[in-house]
Chains A and B, each alone.
Chain A
Amino acid sequence: MLLRSIISRLIAVAITLFGVAVVVFTLIRVAPGNPIAMMLPPGATAADIARLEALYGFDKSLPEQFVIWLKAVAQGDFGTSIIMRQPVAELVLERLPATLELALMALLLAVALGGLGAVVGARFRGRSPELGVDLGVGVGLSVPDFLWGLLLILLFGVLWPVLQISGRVDPRLAVDLSTNFYIIEGLLRGQWRLVQDVLAHMLMPALALSLPLAAMIAQVLKQSLKAELHLDYTQLARVRGLSETRVIVSEALRNAALPTLTLIGVQFTFLIGGTVIVERLFAYEGLGNMAIEAVINRDLPLIQGIVLLFALLFIVINLAVDLTYGLLNPRLRHG
């Protein structure tokens, strides 16, 4: 039963991936501007254009072109960036670590802030701290990451300038690493100054990304915590003499976590999507910033590669969430 549900899920994923490919291919092909003309330097002859067109299969019918394109993409060939004259796959993989680190940091912050809000709200339920948490949740849910980023820039960049408002790392700092995972590799190699500087740059964009999700986590987790606090086992823990905070943190939290975990899984993709504009806002050198740069320069192969990578990331994360949820929730496993 489990195997069958996994297989049907995988088929659905394959259909979605194919659909994504069709949408991206169509969009790029209807975009104004001849992609071949953009690849050539100005002053290229008609024969040059014809030769390149034949090379990329542009002289064939659209469905045939789609098959040629799909084959190349499946082999990891996303074409060459028009502006930077480098393979798109290389450029994209170079920037991916920066975006992943930012997204993971934001996730961490969201869980910490949301979890804290939920515990405080549940501990002081019905009193003013819970009202405060509810108010924060209301604002956090209605204001998107873009606006949080701008507000943070005003607060911690201008009014009380304690954090960096642009870039990923101080350009004066020599980065001597073999991967672009600055934090992870920096920690492993013990380069504390580098890690510290990267964190100082990352904190504001990560916080901006995390606040909407933190609000959602606080809301959902507080709700499930409060439901648990009426049950017998928490009463028993109180009778055993545990303080209310202990009851919440070490008894109720584990049983209340499942709905929040599902929520985090689903919302993590939206958080990754948010990196696009937040990176731009903070001039953070990740994929999203590169995507907007590519659109401004009309570098279609590069945009296409980034969009495909983001879509793939979304689909894989959603699949992983679905599968783990199936494993975590016995009712679904046997259902």
Chain B
Amino acid sequence: MVDISAPRAVVRAPNLRLWVPLCWLTLVGIAAVFAPWIAPHDPLAQDLMLGRLPPAWIAGSEPGYWLGTDDLGRDVLSRLIYGARIALIVAATAALLAGLVGSGLGLLAGFFGGWWDKCISRLVEIWMAFPPVLFAVLLVAVLGTGLGSVIAAIALIDWTRFVRVVRAETLVQARMDYIDSAVIGGASKLSVLRHEVLPNVLPAIIALLSLEMGIAVIVEAILSFVNLSLSSDAPTWGGMIAEGRASIYFAWWVLTFPLLTLFLTVLSFSQLGEGLKRHFDPVQT
């Protein structure tokens, strides 16, 4: 006897790939928005008397410092919560900017073809010849440090990712019959692009935005790690990791907690992106 109930159960199961990442990212989002109300301490307040306090469950800890303190006696949990603000602001704006520029160029290249495609593809090829991290570091050196430069640098590097995916998707859509029928119906090329092609490419762009936000969080952390993002005092996850790396033999928690937070956030963005891709296009898998 063949059991036919099993596959149905798999289909009906809640999509963990979407929900688990969403829960974590919501948590990070809440921390970012309500940081002043949630954080138990001022993220910048130093108290050398309270330096290198271990987390609450280890002997020698102080009440109220749940995840311990760093070398300068700053509360690790509070810095993590405020760090979520910077991480999410950078992730959202950089991904959006890269998505706007990249998707626009990808649509043009895929839909109009010819010289549009040749020029844009060549530009992407030139851009791809630079190692991303080195390029980011170089751009920040040129643009100067600060939140705006970090966002600009990430967007300037990662727009190519959107071009490649959106161009390929647009090429597929442009060959479909409904495009021909819209053209025969008298619609202008630009209006076909906006009203017919774009809605069909949009799911791919949304999935890519999620992936890109994960990448932006990492690049911001890397730039903070090498002290090229915000001022070294600002509570960034990457900056915390750099401090933790320096005092790894004396206070493992200073590295471990920001690392864990970053790990979960990046994993969530990328799993969410993959989940969205499958959600929109179940045939592909």
Contacts and interface: CB of A to CB of B under 8 A. Distances in A.
A19 B123 contact: yes
A16 B226 contact: no
Given A27-B139, A147-B218, A153 B131 contact: no
B145 to A, nearest CB: 10
Q: Ordered nearest first, which 9 A-B pairs have the shortest CB separation?
A: A273-B131, A19-B126, A142-B270, A31-B142, A311-B129, A295-B141, A276-B133, A276-B134, A314-B129
Contacts of A151: 259, 263
Interface in A244-301: 269, 272-274, 276-277, 280-281, 288, 291-292, 295-296, 298, 300
A315 B129 contact: yes
B37 interface: no
A54 interface: no
A314 B131 contact: yes
* Chain A contact surface mostly: helix
Most buried by A among B139, B140, B245, B274: B245
B144 A291 contact: no
Interface string B249-280: 10010011001001100110011001000000
Nearest to A17: B129
27 contacts: A12-B125, A19-B122, A23-B126, A23-B127, A23-B130, A32-B144, A142-B270, A142-B274, A146-B218, A147-B266, A150-B259, A273-B131, A273-B133, A273-B134, A274-B133, A276-B131, A277-B222, A280-B225, A288-B134, A295-B138, A295-B228, A296-B227, A300-B141, A303-B141, A307-B135, A310-B130, A315-B129
Contacts of B123: 19
Interface of A: 12, 15-16, 19-20, 23, 27-28, 30-32, 138-139, 141-144, 146-147, 150-151, 153-154, 157-158, 165, 269, 272-274, 276-277, 280-281, 288, 291-292, 295-296, 298, 300, 303, 306-307, 310-311, 314-315
A276 B255 CA distance: 20
Nearest to A283: B245
B31 interface: no
A147 B135 CA distance: 19
Contacts of A15: 122
B183 interface: no
B120 interface: no
A62 to B, nearest CB: 16
B150 interface: no
Interface residues of B, number: 44
* Chain B contact surface mostly: helix
A150 B144 CA distance: 27
Nearest to A146: B222
B131 A147 contact: no
Contacts of B241: 150
A274 to B, nearest CB: 7
A16 B259 contact: no
Given A147-B266, A154-B252, A273-B131, 16 more contacts: A23-B126, A27-B138, A28-B142, A139-B267, A147-B262, A150-B245, A153-B248, A157-B248, A281-B245, A295-B137, A295-B226, A303-B141, A307-B135, A310-B130, A310-B134, A315-B129
Most buried by A among B131, B218, B225, B262: B131
Contacts of B214: 142
B270 A141 contact: yes
A16 B270 contact: no
B248 A291 contact: no
B109 interface: no
Interface in B121-163: 122-123, 125-135, 137-142, 144
B84 interface: no
A146 B131 contact: no
Interface string B202-240: 000000000000110010011001111000000000000
Contacts of B249: 158
A249 to B, nearest CB: 28
Interface in B62-80: none
Contact of A16 (B129, B134, B139): B129
B62 to A, nearest CB: 23
Contacts of B135: 307
Contacts of A144: 215, 218, 266
A303 B131 CA distance: 13
Most buried by B among A153, A277, A306: A277
A16 B125 contact: yes
Given A19-B126, A27-B139, A147-B263, A273 B132 contact: yes
A296 to B, nearest CB: 7
A306 B138 CA distance: 10
B237 to A, nearest CB: 11
